[in-house]
Amino acid sequence: MNLLALAGGVGGAKLADGLQRVVGENLTVIVNTGDDFQLHDLYIAPDLDTVMYTLAGIANRANGWGIEGDTYNNLDMLSQYGGEDWFRLGDRDLATHLLRTQMLRGGYTLTQATQHLARALNVRANILPMCNEAVATIVNTNAGELAFQEYFVHRRWQPVVKSYRFHDIEKARVTPEIQNAVQNADAIIFCPSNPFVSIEPILSVKGMRELIQKTRVPKIAVSPIVGGEALKGPAAKMFQELGMEASAFQVAKLLRGVVDRFVLDRIDEAQARSIKDLGMRVWVTDTVMRDEVGRERLAREIVEWVNR
């Protein structure tokens, strides 16, 4: 069975890892690149890296991002020089940015660079950036307009979000690799990633939403909001700041018209009825992936639900 997953950062990467454990190289993951930015003239793709490191089995176990056992001597020296040091570039991690940037300057597409790096790390799944064009998620906050990493890392998502937009999204196109992956997919899984700044950028690539909508396979979302909270990151806070209740039901509402099945945590079982009323089938289970076993268990339940 060919699975296609849409993912952002840490939460999405965990479910993608679970799916890879179940279907191996039959998994393709489309990853948000709206978070990508330049630092020290290097092209940095935080979500692509988190997904790649997680699928390669080298992600930092405590943070979810970065490489396990990485050191920060380069960052320390950058600090000593008075350089920008708010984004924690690890010494090993930096090799990814150096090589990717070099490949991009040399004419590789972001898709080609991603595949080259992932292959070198023996990742079995196929990791695809949502597009090859540079798109930048911009968050409009009470502290002004902020590039996403500026908001997320530098300001630790403390500013209040008023709105957000995807700069240059109109220039982004569905790649042939994604077109192919969608057409060959037997199911599409929306990983538990931030619906506003991880899933929405992917769906906003010209043609992406329609391509997914017209494919007649199960489309299953896993809620990133559990018990009214996000396990990691600003998703719940953003719901509130944007005037919505932070709930699995709200996630389902945002994905209505694209998704037809919804995986809900037991703690939110009371919302199953409202989600079904949106026209979705609902599966209630434990969605919190505490470790690799939890990732694989959730992934296997989803696959079995699709097969049933």
Q: What is the 3-state secondary structure (H, E, C) of 175-187?
A: CHHHHHHHHHCCE
Minimum separation from the CB atom of position 218 to a second copy (A): 36
Residue 161 tokens, joined: 């979000």
Taking the least distance from each CB to a second copy, the nearer of 95 and 293 is: 95
Minimum separation from the CB atom of position 131 to a second copy (A): 23
DSSP 194-209: -IIIIIHHHHHSBTHH
Taking the least distance from each CB to a second copy, the nearer of 42 and 267 is: 42
3-state DSSP call for residue 41? coil
What whole-number distance in Å separates Cα of residue 193 and Cα of residue 46?
A: 14
Minimum separation from the CB atom of position 98 to a second copy (A): 4
Residue 73 tokens, joined: 């001597």
Contact footprint for a second copy (CB under 8 A)? 40-42, 67, 70-71, 73-78, 80-83, 90-96, 98-99, 101-102, 105, 117, 120-121
Taking the least distance from each CB to a second copy, the nearer of 68 and 296 is: 68
> Which stretches within the chain are classed as H helix?
10-23, 46-55, 73-80, 93-105, 110-120, 148-149, 176-184, 200-204, 208-214, 235-241, 248-255, 272-277, 292-307
Minimum separation from the CB atom of position 65 to a second copy (A): 16
Give the DSSP letter of residue 259.
B
Minimum separation from the CB atom of position 219 to a second copy (A): 35
CB atoms within 10 A of CB 263: 23
Taking the least distance from each CB to a second copy, the nearer of 114 and 198 is: 114
Minimum separation from the CB atom of position 42 to a second copy (A): 8
**Phi first, then psi: what are they for 111, rounded to 5°?**
-60, -50
Taking the least distance from each CB to a second copy, the nearer of 43 and 166 is: 43
